[in-house]
Amino acid sequence: MKDNNDMPGHLARRFQQIAVAVFLAEVEDAGFDLTPVQYAALATIKANPGLDQVTLAGLIAYDRTTITGVIDRLVQKGLTERRASSRDRRARELEITDEGRKTLRAITPAVEAAQRIMLRGLTDKEANELTRLLRKAIAAGNELSRAPLREAPT
Amino acid sequence: MKDNNDMPGHLARRFQQIAVAVFLAEVEDAGFDLTPVQYAALATIKANPGLDQVTLAGLIAYDRTTITGVIDRLVQKGLTERRASSRDRRARELEITDEGRKTLRAITPAVEAAQRIMLRGLTDKEANELTRLLRKAIAAGNELSRAPLREAPT
DNA sequence: TACTGATGGTCAGTATACTGATCAATATTG
DNA sequence: CAATATTGATCAGTATACTGACCATCAGTA
């Protein structure tokens, strides 16, 4: 019988588990308290000032119900501002604060180190291949989860 | 600046997200209600009758605090029994029930189909390579998360 | 054997994820 | 333009994950 630990789904879970642990450890060592999810959201807000939550969710493939809580915490930490949109009164426009910008800048080396550490068992060539294959598999399965990647509108 | 969607950690998250969604969809289509985590635990209990929770956690690389809830739900669904160990009164011995065995057998095709679907964007060769690279990266990072894989004792 | 340290399990608290519902506001269309 | 459909955001509920603490028990040692 096929071992559980040979199934792609199980391997995906384990790799992600390690990736998150490494990320949190590196970021904490650097003196910050930010989760992978919060980091991705913050970086995306910086790159797309004024975007609304649904667009943000699409850009990083998060469920929109998850985004609400993530932004809550980024706002609470003073890294992001959420204000009502003037164009669409349902929407919230997101902006990064100066504090958020500073944090993002300071945290980048730790985030990059984390990426290297989670792949430390692989050669550079293997690491590139893994990344390529993950990207390809994800592209093919994009529509299969509730939170597919969406290009920015306009 | 490097895009978020190019980082291995982010790709890990997305792939896992898709893997879980595919798993749940296939299993539900087959008429069952079991999560990936519950499935892995159940299969491992069947393969190692009478094991305790910490050992189970080690065999599938789960945090032991997570196991408590997972077993709660398996017991509540009537798929697993949890009884006090006679050898060590701290420990709980886990057994699969007949119902659990039946479920496991009936659900296997759906689980295997899910593995194929989550890799549908890759050729067979690429799928094998992805699996190999994940396994290798995971082996190297095993000790980096709070829930490393542990061989069975004895 | 009494003490100390390690171990199995649980719990409280926090942070993703997702299902499905709801509300307000915008778009669409007959 | 009124009825309908869609959309942005949130919420309640459930299921992983993890941190750190705790208790009962076991194991090793002085």
pTM of the model: 0.94
For chain B positions 53-92, those within 8 Å of chain A (CB to CB) are 60-61
Nearest by CB: A21 against B7, B23, B144? B144
- Mean pLDDT for all residues in chain B: 94
Chain A residues near residue B122 by CB distance under 8 angstroms: 133, 136-137, 140
Chain A residues near residue B146 by CB distance under 8 angstroms: 21
| Inter-chain CB proximity B7 and A111 less than 8 Å | yes
From the list B99, B58, B74, the residue with the least C-alpha distance to A4 is B58
Nucleotides of C under 7 A from a protein CB: 7-13, 15-21, 24-27
Per-residue pLDDT of chain A (154 residues; tens, 9 = 90+): 467 778 999 999 999 999 999 999 999 999 999 999 999 999 999 999 999 999 999 999 999 999 999 999 999 999 999 999 989 999 999 999 999 999 999 999 999 999 999 999 999 999 999 999 999 999 999 999 988 999 876 4
Backbone φ/ψ region at A100: left (φ over 0), alpha (ψ -120 to 50), beta: alpha
Chain B residues near residue A142 by CB distance under 8 angstroms: 18
pLDDT in tens, B48-84: 999 999 999 999 999 999 999 999 999 999 999 999 9
Nearest by CB: B16 against A13, A111, A120? A13
Residue A80: CB partners within 8 Å, gap ≥ 6? Answer: A41, A42, A45, A71, A74, A94, A95, A96, A97, A100
For chain B positions 102-131, those within 8 Å of chain A (CB to CB) are 111, 114-115, 117-122, 126-127, 129-131
Please give the C-alpha separations between residue B6 and each of A36, A86, A106, A149, in angstroms, as whole numbers: 14, 33, 20, 13
